[in-house]
Structure 1
Amino acid sequence: MAKKKKEQKRITKKLLNKYRLVILNEDTFEERISFKLNRLNVFVMVTITGILLVSGTTFLIAFTPLREYIPGYSSTSLNLKATRLVATTDSLESRIVVNQQYYNSIKKVLTGDVKTVEFDLDSAVQSQKVNLEEIDLSPSDQDMRLREEVSKEDKYSLFENEKSNSDFSLFSPVKGNITSGYDVTQKHYGVDVAVPKDTPIQAASAGTVIFSEWTAETGYVIILKHANNLLTVYKHNASLTKQQGEQVKAGEVIATAGSTGELSTGPHLHFELWRDGYPTDPTNFVDFE
């Protein structure tokens, strides 16, 4: 026990032994600065200095932009930009899918590539086995309410003539004799209206020009997009007066009639009417004569 106390006193004395740190002029040996120190003071000063350095470094890394220059830490602005780019990329991907569907619809208009509904023989045979006398064909209350709602909506159908009460109407782009009618079996998805060369062609309704270019088979072609997913197509023109992206009003001149393209045999307008990517007979809604 005494030996242990003696050892403790020796360590304490060693820690408290005073030393003088003197800074001298090398040439004159003049004393410039001196400090009285002991081992305990040096240990305390080094510990405090280390704590301050660690605290300062932690503060700089955590709360200042200086951490961007430390390897392993990314820039806050870069993280924000990356997040925005990811969100923008997602929205662009969705937009690309929608645009691709839209362009496919335009492609079908230009090429006449329309899929027909196939006849399912198995379903037809199976339907012949059903005994209609055993089926209750009387409408239910829900069916009657649905029929009333549908009948109200049909009153304002898009495809009505100009005399309907609908806000939407189609006007004849030209007046003339129809030389070739609408025929799906022959992939003729519009009507050919014979008119003199350079006859002004008018927009059937207000809309936006989504295509205004030359094609080898149908010459100068212009396509207008209207409300309710409706497209009107004007082919074999001699010239076009509107460019892609322009807005046009109903009855505004958009082209002049001609006989351009490999499939044309004389001055006329080939006019098509499409909705939701499928053609319909224009004569049901436009009076050309």
Structure 2
Amino acid sequence: MAHRKPEKKYINFLIIPDGKEEPRSIRLRLSLVRFIIAMLIVFLILVTGGFFAYWKLGSLLIQNNRLKEENFKLVTSLKQVDKIKEELLALQGYEKKIRSSIQGYVKVPETSATDSIPLNQINFESLNREKTGSLFNSIPSLIPVEGFIARGFETSSLFSDAHLGIDIAAQTNTPIRAPADGVVVMESWTDYGGNVLIIEHAYNYITVYKHNQVNLVSELERVKKGQVIALLGNTGKITSGPHLHYEIWHNGKPVNPIYYLNEN
């Protein structure tokens, strides 16, 4: 018995135009139709996979950018923490110097009296007229630099931080003079205060000088009233032009220097 070849199968597609044209018939092998369908399925799978991969890549890029931004913020925060830490250490040193001075660890020039004298008990008129004696030389009654007051003494409030001194504006390199006899207990640099000086005087007085262009005295050096101790400048991060930030501390508390300048 002879072997019969498998019969080829076809599919007929009938095309019926809308117009007056006669219908046309297209005859395709079933295997070709199956191949076309398979190719369409593969194409749809590839297109769908491509869209999914594109969406996934976009999500990864967005996430990557967000992580980069968060990493940048973290690095910036760490840098700020390091700066704050450095400034805190400087402020701790600043505080230590003041506390050491207040507690008497640094000797001041000998006077006839070492007790505290309240401001209202000082006769500035007589003091300035005599211009001699230990009291005149020890009370910080001299204006440290010639200029104008750009900012006054301010206590803290809900809207602003405390400003424990006055800012005296003048030209850069204007001489800064010691307002009284004393001993330099700190000569250093801080990020925010720039070149800083702290001088201890008799009668429990301490004076502070910030943003100096250059300090001209060293720690533990004795200074005389009217002696040039520094040159006015604009050093440090927190500053708005050449000026001297000047503080007076009495009995461990900041007092308004303007009282002494007014009396003088």
TM-score, scaled relative to structure 2: 0.49
Compare relative contact order (CA 8 Å, sep 6+) and give the higher one, 1 or 2. 2
